[in-house]
Amino acid sequence: MLINLELYRVFREVASCGSFSQAARTLFITQSAVSQSVQQLERQLERKLFTRSSRGVTLTPEGKMLYEHITSALNIITSGEEKLERMRHLQAGELSIGAGDTISEHYLLPYLEQFHSKYPEIRLKVINRTSGQALDLLKTGAIDLAFANLPLNEPEITVKECIQVHDVFVASEKFNHFKGRTLESWELAKCHLIMLERLSNSRRYVDNFFLQNGVPLEPEIELGAHDLLLEFARIGLGISCVIEEFSSEYLQSGNLFVLKLKKPVPPRSIGLCSLAGVSPSFAAERFMQLIPAML
């Protein structure tokens, strides 16, 4: 049975006031409109809800039972509306983001700090995953947004490109004999390479580029964290493939230098991902506005 919610609101007010005229004043409608609403509700329910007298109205037994349930239901609805309004103004809610540790540390962190400073009532939840794993969580609705290494071929995902990055190979002074030289791809492939594990999007991107040039890369060491790539290269264990923009501290200090390649890896992007065709939450929408698009 589908009954207009406004009829129940009028019914509750009449029952609370014990008077049609008082309910009309409270609801800012005419007494006639109140009376008609109650009569319509009684017709649809096929039950008498009020006993009328010269002193006002009182609930029938059926009306008392309905009043208890309707009061509880309308209070829940009102509470939901109030919470929604608080969420609209970012005074309540949650924002869940999936991102890899490298992106979180070197790119995402200042934006999280800025968002939290502006909207401290929003509960931030950051889940550390690879790009592929973060996208899987996004597709199932487990998170609101995901940061991922591009390119992607995911038609159900909307991508906002945020930052362009360069995959480079870095080494310590142990490999100073490569300084000033331009290396062929095959020369690099013969070196002791240190790279991310094969599951990562960035690793696959680099591997595919070298394979397109007929040079497969077989690293001696595979790691799961970008910072470890830098540290392993720093102590001379090999030549690491890293993101140049996220390695500035090591490069500027002189602990590592970038090898010059005849065919450097083309730049790629990191993107902010959301589900296509799905309206983001108020918090997610505001966070997306905070992240600048790549120029």
Domain with CATH 1.10.10.10 in the chain: 5-88
pLDDT tens-place string over residues 128-141: 998 889 999 999 99
Phi, psi of 194 (to 5 degrees): -125, 120
Q: What residues does 57 pair with on adjacent strands?
A: 52
Tell me yes or no: is domain 167-266 CATH 3.40.190.10.
Answer: yes
Grade residue 29 by pLDDT with cuts at 50, 70 and 90.
very high
Phi-psi region of 35 (alpha: psi -120 to 50; beta: other; left: phi over 0): alpha
* Nearest Cα residue to 110 out of 168, 162, 167: 162
The CATH label, of 3.30.450.20, 3.40.50.300, 3.30.365.10, 3.40.190.10, for the domain at 94-164+270-290 is 3.40.190.10
pTM of this structure: 0.71
pLDDT per position as a tens digit, 245-291:
999 999 999 999 999 999 999 999 999 999 999 999 999 999 999 99
Query: Two tokens at 220?
Result: 């001696």
227 three-class SS: helix
Instruction: Say what the pLDDT of residue 295 is.
Output: 64
* Cα 102 from Cα 235, distance rounded (Å): 20
* Topology (CATH) of 5-88: Arc Repressor Mutant, subunit A (1.10.10)
